[in-house]
Structure 1
Amino acid sequence: MTPAPDGRGAPPRRQQRGGVRPPRMPGGRWGILIFVLVLLALNWWISSRALSPSERVRVPYSGSAETPNFIQEVRDGNVREIFSTGASIQGDFKRDVTYPPRGREDSVTATKFSTEVPAFADPDQLTKLLQENDVVVNAEPPDDGPSLLLSVLLGFGPVILIIALFVFLSRRMAGAAGGGMMSFGRSRARRSEGGESPVTFRDVAGIDEAEAELNEIVDFLKNPDKYQRLGGKIPKGVLLSGQPGTGKTLLARAVAGEAGVPFFSMSASEFVEMIVGVGASRVRDLFRQAKEAAPAIIFIDELDAIGRARGSGRGSFGGNDEREQTLNQILTEMDGFEPSTAVIVIAATNRPEILDQALLRPGRFDRRVTVAPPDRNGRLMILRVHTRSVPLAGDVDLEAIASTTPGMVGADLANLVNEAALLAARRGHRTVQSADFTDALEKVVLGAERRVVMSDDDRRRTAYHEAGHAIVGMLTPGADPVRKVSIIPRGQALGVTFSSPDADKYNYDERYLVGKIKVALGGRVAEEVVYGDLTTGAESDIQQLTGIARQMVGRWGMSPAIGPIAVLSSDGAGPLLPGVAETSESTQRLVDEEVRRIVDGAHADVTRLLREHRENLDSLVAALLDRETLDEADAYEAAGLPEMRPAPPAEPERTERVARDRDDAGTNGHGPGGDLSRPELPPGVGDLR
């Protein structure tokens, strides 16, 4: 599946989140911040001028003739006027006066002064002295600064301003969330109108089966009377399941776009909060909005976040848990739909096996649509959709690219096209060429090239490691053809060997799986044969082949000693299947013995094979050391082996072996590693870890 490319002239989609958004303040957050800073600066300027009275020099009442004092300045005729109330005197000099005398750090020069009249001074003599020297006497109060009210306002102005700003922002944030604290339990679903959605089934490719399943849903939303008059009831819930990247969300959007109805989209994790009951409230509000807008579609992504089985042990949650209350509310709302309510619930999950059975019963999510990875033709259609707006050179063969990308889903192919376009732009190409796609595929599958300077010994050992994988792949019947061998470091790998089948695989026989184990052992055995010792480079190879062997024994019944008995979990990570009692210690020991038998047998076969074809191994190593990278034809020619093509099955399944360098603590960390890819296997077969 793939989204529609941009640039088709579709109108931008408008989204609503729990109601109408409040108008945004002009200037945004920066405007508010600048406004507050200006107010604070203005407050400081006013307060500094109002709270600070005119600067006055404080002089003594009397003293010696050498020291400035009030009486002496009056006698010298330097006092113009005074203001007096009680014992305090303030006034103005005719000339500047410095006190204390110059040279001291606290000296102040001013024409305004203040002093205090001692209690023993004779007021009559002072009055006579003032009159004789023509000093104007005013009986006004001294300058004590601003009034009390103004002082309070100016002193607490910044605090009041900050509190007002905090209240304003709090109300604004509450309003954006939907109207205050009461909006905490409102739905946060994003709403888009059907006519505004640019995605339709025309933009969905590679999953025709899933698209056909949903066509009936679209027809019901467009023509509900056609079904209702015959007593038919459309499914209330549709569950889309599949691995990540297959396009489940896009498919739900395409349904809304085709039907032209409102589309409410929300992730299941958005329902859950720390406060118990909030999730259930949001569920009620979401379904209320959908019913008011009916016909409509509700899309819940990652349903397993709240829909896990209750009381099943691993991954379950208690009876008072917020998730369980949210799940119960979803079950209730889906049961509460009236038959005539045209509201469809579409949910997506990557793990349908862990969902609660109450969700899957008829009347709820009773229609299940598996969105599987596309086959070759599907990949071709996806590539065509993604390259609509990409200028392609004449040498680009989309059919060949689709054939060499088995196992890739829509997201992988979209990434491949984007990487090719980026490479073409960096190289200055006017169009995207075939070489750009080839290099982009290598980067996506094998990793980006690393600039690592290796010694000659490390390069030779890496070449033997990779050549060992390649020779075993070339000589093992039923193994996937070797497409490329390289000793150029990529990602975590010091070398890579890439192989893929000629057609997609939907079933895996025992010979094919044992062949993958042998190919994974090829690098380690080559080092044993040539050098007689081992390195840490085969760590990832060992992990992968051990996983394959364990699943052959514990999941797929490919061991005569165990038989058709499952002793591993469905993902191969644990010792149990859900609902199966714990296996005995003797059975687990037998599983380990069978795994060792399979691996030891493959190891012996690979050792014999490489010893017999040592000349082919050395020849391929020489070519790798000379050219570093060999394509399929060059690799077979350098090894001196003919290309053996097995009878192609239905469709290809991608496999690659990536050599990885594991620099573990306590090891030399110089050897090339091997990594057997994990092909996506069909349901009921499992994943190769």
Structure 2
Amino acid sequence: MNLRNLLIWGIVLLLLVALFNLLQGPPQTANANQISYSQFLDQVEADTINRAEIRGERIIGQNGSGETFVANLPPQDDQLISTLRDNGVEISADPGQTGPSFWTILIQWFPMLLLIAVWIFFMRQMQGGGRGGAMGFGKSKARLLTERQGRVTFEDVAGVDEAKEELQEIVEFLKDPSKFQRLGGKIPKGALLVGPPGTGKTLIARAVAGEANVPFFTISGSDFVEMFVGVGASRVRDMFEQAKKNAPCIIFIDEIDAVGRSRGAGLGGGNDEREQTLNQLLVEMDGFEANEGIILIAATNRPDVLDPALMRPGRFDRQVVVPNPDISGREKILKVHMRNVPVAADVDPKTIARGTPGFSGADLANLINEAALLAARRNKRVVSMAELEDAKDKVMMGPERRSMVMGEKEKILTAYHEAGHAIVSINVPEADPVHKATIIPRGRALGMVMRLPEADKLSENYTQMTSFLAIAMGGRIAEELKFGKEKITSGASSDIQQATRVARAMVTRWGFSDKLGTIDYSDSNGQNVFLGQELTRTKSISGETARIIEEEVRRLIDEANSTARKILTEKKKDWETLAEGLLEYETLSGEEITELLKGNPPSRPSEDTSPTGTPPTGAVPVTDEEDEEGPAPGGVSPQGA
């Protein structure tokens, strides 16, 4: 590219020089008078010319008054020199150029040369000379990774053992295809990696290529989509042509749902550009022409929207689920990310894994990175458990807002609000243990209670759900019991919202209503919905059914309010003790809360003004966000069901 720019500027410079020379002309003839040859001879004979210079077919001279003249010479005049000498004229000669100059020829031919150069440029572009050029929009944008540097293997992938086992067979086939072909086995056409964002689908695909040591083409599904009809299909054809030249190889398409959505759903019908691209992809994967040695690996987190023809065997023979890791998987992932980070002796990956339920591989990588950055800011040489704990709190709840000034009334309100959540959580059945309670603002919350599940949860029962509802309403009930109904703030808005979502899911999705029965009244698109996650809109139902749904939701919320009120009334002493402890210490761990309720206040160094007492890392945040109408003293957020 730099050479091309230099050539262009060189041509421009030459043209400017030529134009300058052409316009400038000889300095002597710029203001000369043109006279005929007869006039010139008459002036010579009249002895009025002092000097003359012969330049090719022209003669330039000066008369007695100093005026310059120019005259054209005839083809042959043998007597001219003798005449000039006889009349005492000083003679000089300049043969000049016998033909057109180089600059004249260049200027005359420049338009034609420019047209030829432009034609050659476009021809090279059309023949594939530049994939990113003006005529290269039909070429594939797939990038070839040969893994000479930064090679990834299965050792760099952790927490997804089942997915690795599924893909190990593809690796063995790429290494030794004859092993399977002897028994009539055929190489798989494709593997579809399905899982939530951040679980490492792209990393697994790179690991397959790294293990097999074959070329790896990577492209995004959106790279096929263009406004020009047929461009996407052309790119698919070109991508497979490149792959054939490098076979055996792997083609990885990330976010394939951008191009692989079900056909017929759009307004364009069969002429839709995206559908034409999908049709070409289907033909290339399993058509009349066999593409041996090419394995297509694709990733998506929306398998429900893919076209059925794309999902059938012969195209994507394998559907590999890549879920969020369990506690054992999280421990392995943390160990992988800790390889390049110096950690202290007190760091226990298992403890960190226990405290990060629901974290994906990307979340855990971010956690380690935040801890390393925090240790660097503190001028430490190693990352200790304290940095990991603080980084985990920052990732899950947001950074501390210690610069935020809270009034005494708001601080007291927040303390009793959070103490209400904690006391209800301690006294309801089958609730996760309280891990931490704090009234230090973090993110948008002015305070929070964190509960740490003892193990990963895949489902929750009715008792756990009703306990969650009571915990969610504990903060609002605490405000009412302490300050009166007329002093309740808007801080419980997030608590109410979360409790309502869970109660509506219990009624419309999970069949926990005798009046409605075990009927699904919502539209979930086949996706799992856990406690606290965003619920989709309900289906069209009759007015009577909608009224019953609202009554059942109201019943569950009222029962949760009654449970929270009963617990806080019976445990008023514990509730007030915990609130006073939060006002004094700002942050209390689960063990410190237990000891405080037994009458043993936590011991804190007098010089340490920052909140301490956080046990080993990890807990699911139980927070609530500030409402638009006012700040939220704190609350709870649901934990996975």
Provide the TM-score with structure 2 as the length reference. Answer: 0.77
Change (3 A) 1:261 1:506: same
Change (3 A) 1:286 1:151: closer
> Alignment partner for residue 272 of structure 1, among 206, 214, 225?
225
Q: Is the 8 A contact 1:536 1:673 kept in 2?
A: no
Instruction: Report whether the alignment pairs 1:202 with 2:155.
Output: yes
Q: Is the 8 A contact 2:190 2:297 kept in 1?
A: yes
Query: For each residue in 1:454-507, what CA deviation from the matched residue of structure 2 results, as whole angstroms up to 9, or x when unmatched?
Result: 333122222222222222212211111111111111111111221121111122
Instruction: Report whether the alignment pairs 1:444 with 2:407.
Output: no
In the alignment, what sits opposite 1:69? Answer: none
Shift of 1:171: 7.9
Change (3 A) 1:113 1:406: farther
Query: For each residue in 1:367-392, what CA deviation from the matched residue of structure 2 results, as whole angstroms up to 9, or x when unmatched?
Result: 21111111111111111111112111
Instruction: Report whether the alignment pairs 1:328 with 2:250.
Output: no
State how 1:96-245 maps to structure 2 within 5 Å: 177-178=130-131, 182-193=135-146, 198-245=151-198
Shift of 1:231: 2.2
> Alignment partner for residue 536 of structure 2, among 573, 587, 607?
573
Q: Is the 8 A contact 1:195 1:260 kept in 2?
A: no
Query: For each residue in 1:283-340, what CA deviation from the matched residue of structure 2 results, as whole angstroms up to 9, or x when unmatched?
Result: 12222322332222221111111122223x5x78632211111111122222227678
In the alignment, what sits opposite 1:658? Answer: 623
> Alignment partner for residue 475 of structure 1, among 424, 427, 438?
427
What is the alpha-carbon distance in structure 2 between the residues aligned to residue 251 and residue 40 of structure 1?
52
Q: Is the 8 A contact 1:458 1:671 kept in 2?
A: no
Instruction: Report whether the alignment pairs 1:551 with 2:505.
Output: yes
What is the alpha-carbon distance in structure 2 between the residues aligned to residue 170 and residue 193 of structure 1?
30
Change (3 A) 1:310 1:168: closer
Shift of 1:592: 2.1
> Alignment partner for residue 349 of structure 1, among 287, 300, 308?
300
Q: Which stretch shows the higher mean deviation, 511-520 or 385-394?
A: 511-520
In the alignment, what sits opposite 1:600? Answer: 558
Shift of 1:413: 0.8
Q: Is the 8 A contact 1:233 1:339 kept in 2?
A: no
Q: Is the 8 A contact 1:308 1:316 kept in 2?
A: no
In the alignment, what sits opposite 2:364? Answer: 413
Instruction: Report whether the alignment pairs 1:434 with 2:385.
Output: yes
Change (3 A) 1:629 1:293: same
In the alignment, what sits opposite 1:672? Answer: 633
Q: Is the 8 A contact 1:308 1:356 kept in 2?
A: yes
Shift of 1:349: 0.8
What is the alpha-carbon distance in structure 2 between the residues aligned to residue 241 and residue 182 of structure 1?
36
What is the alpha-carbon distance in structure 1 between the residues aligned to residue 180 and residue 119 of structure 2?
56
**Residue 618 of structure 1 aligns to which amino acid in structure 2?**
E
Q: Which stretch shows the higher mean deviation, 338-347 or 530-539?
A: 338-347
What is the alpha-carbon distance in structure 2 between the residues aligned to residue 179 and residue 481 of structure 1?
58
Shift of 1:232: 2.5
Shift of 1:36: 7.2
Q: Is the 8 A contact 1:197 1:253 kept in 2?
A: no
Change (3 A) 1:289 1:640: same
Query: For each residue in 1:552-575, what CA deviation from the matched residue of structure 2 results, as whole angstroms up to 9, or x when unmatched?
Result: 111111221221111112253122
Shift of 1:428: 0.7
Change (3 A) 1:608 1:227: same
In the alignment, what sits opposite 1:284? Answer: 237
In the alignment, what sits opposite 1:562? Answer: 516
What is the alpha-carbon distance in structure 1 between the residues aligned to residue 67 and residue 566 of structure 2?
112
Query: For each residue in 1:409-446, what CA deviation from the matched residue of structure 2 results, as whole angstroms up to 9, or x when unmatched?
Result: 11111111111111111111111111111111111111
**Residue 364 of structure 1 aligns to which amino acid in structure 2?**
R
In the alignment, what sits opposite 1:253? Answer: 206
Q: Which runs of 5+ in 1 are unaligned?
A: 1-27, 56-79, 82-90, 93-111, 115-135, 137-146, 577-581, 643-652, 682-689
Change (3 A) 1:153 1:388: same
Instruction: Report whether the alignment pairs 1:584 with 2:542.
Output: yes
State how 1:500-511 maps to structure 2 within 5 Å: 500-511=452-463
What is the alpha-carbon distance in structure 2 between the residues aligned to residue 173 and residue 425 of structure 1?
53
Q: Is the 8 A contact 2:399 2:443 kept in 1?
A: yes
Q: Which stretch shows the higher mean deviation, 34-43 or 455-464?
A: 34-43
Q: Is the 8 A contact 1:616 1:640 kept in 2?
A: no
Q: Is the 8 A contact 1:174 1:181 kept in 2?
A: no
> Alignment partner for residue 359 of structure 1, among 287, 310, 332?
310
Query: For each residue in 1:525-561, what CA deviation from the matched residue of structure 2 results, as whole angstroms up to 9, or x when unmatched?
Result: 2222222433222222222222211211111112212
What is the alpha-carbon distance in structure 1 between the residues aligned to residue 547 and residue 24 of structure 2?
91
What is the alpha-carbon distance in structure 1 between the residues aligned to residue 139 and residue 636 of structure 2?
49
What is the alpha-carbon distance in structure 1 between the residues aligned to residue 398 and residue 133 of structure 2?
50
Change (3 A) 1:590 1:219: same
Query: For each residue in 1:1-43, what CA deviation from the matched residue of structure 2 results, as whole angstroms up to 9, or x when unmatched?
Result: xxxxxxxxxxxxxxxxxxxxxxxxxxx66x8779878987898
**Residue 429 of structure 1 aligns to which amino acid in structure 2?**
K
**Residue 192 of structure 2 aligns to which amino acid in structure 1?**
L
Change (3 A) 1:469 1:343: same
Q: Is the 8 A contact 2:445 2:633 kept in 1?
A: yes
In the alignment, what sits opposite 1:620? Answer: 578
**Residue 311 of structure 2 aligns to which amino acid in structure 1?**
L
Identity of aligned pairs, percent?
51
What is the alpha-carbon distance in structure 1 between the residues aligned to residue 545 and residue 129 of structure 2?
60
What is the alpha-carbon distance in structure 1 between the residues aligned to residue 118 and residue 447 of structure 2?
61
Instruction: Report whether the alignment pairs 1:533 with 2:492.
Output: no
What is the alpha-carbon distance in structure 1 between the residues aligned to residue 18 and residue 502 of structure 2?
80
Shift of 1:237: 2.0
**Residue 584 of structure 2 aligns to which amino acid in structure 1?**
D
SS in 2 for 1:562: coil
SS in 2 for 1:183: coil
SS in 2 for 1:307: coil
Q: Is the 8 A contact 2:124 2:130 kept in 1?
A: no
What is the alpha-carbon distance in structure 1 between the residues aligned to residue 389 and residue 67 of structure 2?
91
Query: For each residue in 1:557-596, what CA deviation from the matched residue of structure 2 results, as whole angstroms up to 9, or x when unmatched?
Result: 12212211111122531224xxxxx433322332222212
Q: Which stretch shows the higher mean deviation, 287-296 or 474-483?
A: 287-296
SS in 2 for 1:264: strand
What is the alpha-carbon distance in structure 1 between the residues aligned to residue 326 and residue 442 of structure 2?
28
**Residue 587 of structure 1 aligns to which amino acid in structure 2?**
T
SS in 1 for 2:546: helix
SS in 1 for 2:271: coil
Change (3 A) 1:167 1:219: closer
**Residue 297 of structure 2 aligns to which amino acid in structure 1?**
I
Shift of 1:181: 5.1
Q: Which runs of 5+ in 2 are unaligned?
A: 28-49, 52-60, 69-88, 90-99, 528-534, 601-617
Change (3 A) 1:359 1:152: same
Instruction: Report whether the alignment pairs 1:402 with 2:353.
Output: yes
In the alignment, what sits opposite 1:425? Answer: 376
Query: For each residue in 1:44-71, what CA deviation from the matched residue of structure 2 results, as whole angstroms up to 9, or x when unmatched?
Result: 899789868999xxxxxxxxxxxxxxxx
Change (3 A) 1:42 1:327: closer
Count of aligned residue pairs for this structure pair: 566
Provide the TM-score with structure 1 as the length reference. Answer: 0.72
What is the alpha-carbon distance in structure 1 between the residues aligned to residue 298 and residue 196 of structure 2?
14
Change (3 A) 1:167 1:418: farther
What is the alpha-carbon distance in structure 2 between the residues aligned to residue 45 and residue 195 of structure 1?
49
What is the alpha-carbon distance in structure 2 between the residues aligned to residue 444 and residue 166 of structure 1?
57
Change (3 A) 1:235 1:641: farther
In the alignment, what sits opposite 1:67? Answer: none
Query: For each residue in 1:206-234, what CA deviation from the matched residue of structure 2 results, as whole angstroms up to 9, or x when unmatched?
Result: 11111111111112222222222222234
What is the alpha-carbon distance in structure 1 between the residues aligned to residue 467 and residue 129 of structure 2?
60
In the alignment, what sits opposite 2:444? Answer: 492
